[in-house]
Structure 1
Amino acid sequence: MNRLILSIMTLVSGSLFSCGQQNFKTVDANEFETVISSDSVQLLDVRTAEEFNEAHIDADSVINIDKLQPDFMTKARKILKKDKPVAVYCRSGRRSADAAQLLTEEGYKVIDLDGGIIEWEKRGKKTCK
């Protein structure tokens, strides 16, 4: 009986641990700036259109797909290329981490901005409207 309980506990704890694994890279604002300076990276803002229009990272091409919308992954599949890394950010880092996990599960290579645009601006990085 003890072996059965121990086996079940091991199986459950292993399952819980693997669910929390992150298959994407989270970087600070300085490293994110270096990442997005490459032409081979797709920059993805996953905030609402209103948030995006208030201010977004100053880069040549920023893609805005609202993570809160039910068609987020449908739009992402249509717009994003799997052969190019995706650099993703949001306001504080929560939505972008969720989006990064979904995109990673779909086979995209993803780099997430730790702390979102709040941290980006706090570090004095450029934004535009």
Structure 2
Amino acid sequence: MRRLALIALTVITAIALTSCAGTSAPREDIDPDAVIIDVRTPAEHATGHLEGALLLDVTGGDLQAALPDLDPEAPYLVYCRSGNRAEAAIDLMRQAGFTDLRNLGSLEDAARTTGLPVVQP
């Protein structure tokens, strides 16, 4: 009986920790008004993305097409699969006159940094 109670407690603890894993507090240096941009492909975005993220596929030309409609004075947080496309997107945005830009790296890094949940399909 005692062993069964210990197993039940272990399972409950594991479930509680797992349910909290995707929701961490944002870092203090994150602007809560920043626009979050996911520069991955629509297929990648569909597998999971940050809640509220704007999908602008950098390799498909969506980001470049959207630049005239974006506020160059606003803060932007950009992420992709590893951070490489996010950096390419940031370079493109800098060339267009945007100044407040931050590469969040991967989806997992972005979720950890912002504290935002990952929306799963």
Shorter chain as normaliser: what TM range? Answer: 0.5 to 0.7
Match of 1:35 among 27, 30, 35: 30
Matched, 1:128 2:115: no
Q: Secondary structure at the match of 2:91?
A: helix
Kindly state the Cα deviation for residue 70 of structure 1 after the two structures are TM-superposed. 3.2
Q: 1:49: which partner in 2? A: 42
Corresponding residue of 2:76:
86
Residue 35 of structure 1 aligns to a residue in which SS?
coil
Number of matched pairs: 92
SS at match of 1:87: strand
The yes-or-no answer on 1:72 pairing with 2:63 is: yes
Q: Which amino acid aligns with 1:68?
A: T
TM-score norm. by structure 1 comes to 0.60
Q: 1:75 to 1:91 in 2, by over 3 A?
A: same
Structure 2, unmatched stretches of 5+, are 1-25
Contact kept in structure 1, 2:67 and 2:96, CA below 8 Å: no
Cα separation, partners in 2 of 1:71 and 1:127, compared to 1, 3 Å: closer
C-alpha deviations, 1:31-83, integer Å up to 9, x for none? 4x8525x12x111100011111110113xx321000111353122322x2112
- Aligned-partner SS, 2:78: strand
Separation of aligned partners in 1, 2:42 and 2:84: 17
**SS of equivalent to 1:44:** strand
Q: Which runs of 5+ in 1 are unaligned?
A: 1-29
* Rounded Cα–Cα distance in structure 2 between residues aligned with 1:49 and 1:74: 15
TM-score scaled by structure 2? Answer: 0.64
Q: d(CA) in 2 for partners of 1:116 and 1:52?
A: 12
Distance 2:76 2:111 in 1: 20
Identity rate of aligned residues, in percent? 26
Q: 4+ runs of 1 displaced by more than 3 Å?
A: 118-123
